[in-house]
Amino acid sequence: MKPAAVAKTNAARILDGLGIGYELRPYEVDLEDLSAPSVAKKIGLPVEQVFKTLLTVANSGEHFFAVIPGDDELDLKKLAVAAGVKKVELASLKEVEPLTGYIRGGVTVMGAKKAFAAFADETIELHDVISVSAGMRGLQLLLSPADYLRASEAVIVDLTKVTR
């Protein structure tokens, strides 16, 4: 698929409303590979600066967003502790679009159908610029971590498994 035309998404409009500067960066979508490393290569950023947004569900039924570096794996136990619940698991793919309004590969905290609490991995603050989905496949938002945290109201915590 060709790169998306650079159109304003709900997430971009939210940033505009907050007076936050950002760059929209389109890329060619490969439906066989929606991974963060693939996106990172296409937009010219190191994978650790490309953050993926995962929807999770707690044993209580509450949903949370987890925002982690593209090359890391979510530690569900750490998220449960941060969220103050006993257990958290990834939401099923069939739940994602009805709850967020976004499809896999295009999920973002900003502008989601329902405002779920968001948690961002502490490594987000290590970078001058990060990339998150703009709310559709084929389009990323590049902005400062501080601006992302302000717009998403994400809480900073350690969310990833130690794999290195």
| pLDDT interval class at 2 (50, 70, 90) | very low
Q: Side chain identity at 148, as an amino acid letter?
A: Y
- pLDDT tens-digit map of 124-159: 999 999 999 999 999 999 999 999 999 999 999 999
Find out whether 26 and 37 touch, Cβ atoms under 8 Å: no
Assign 163 a pLDDT band (cuts: 50, 70, 90): low
Output the domain CATH number for residue 22. 3.90.960.10
Assigned domain for 2 exists: no
Query: d(Cα 105, Cα 101) in Å, to the nearest integer?
Result: 12
Q: State the pLDDT at residue 6.
A: 63
Contact 70, 40 (CB under 8 A): yes
Q: Contact 64/142 with Cβ under 8 angstroms?
A: no
Whether 51 maps to a domain, the answer reads yes
Residue 118 lies in a domain: yes
The number of domains in the chain is 1
Q: Does residue 3 fall inside a structural domain?
A: no
162 assigned to some structural domain: no
In this prediction, residue 162 carries a pLDDT of 76
Q: What is the mean pLDDT of residues 69-79?
A: 97
Residue 147 lies in a domain: yes
- Residue 132 inside a domain? The answer is yes
Contact status, residue 32 vs residue 65, Cβ threshold 8 Å: no
Q: Is residue 150 part of a domain?
A: yes
- One-letter amino acid for residue 124 of the chain: I
- Domain coverage including residue 109: 10-157
Question: How much is the mean pLDDT over the chain?
Answer: 94
Query: 74 to each of 13, 152, 158, how far by Cα in Å?
Result: 28, 18, 10
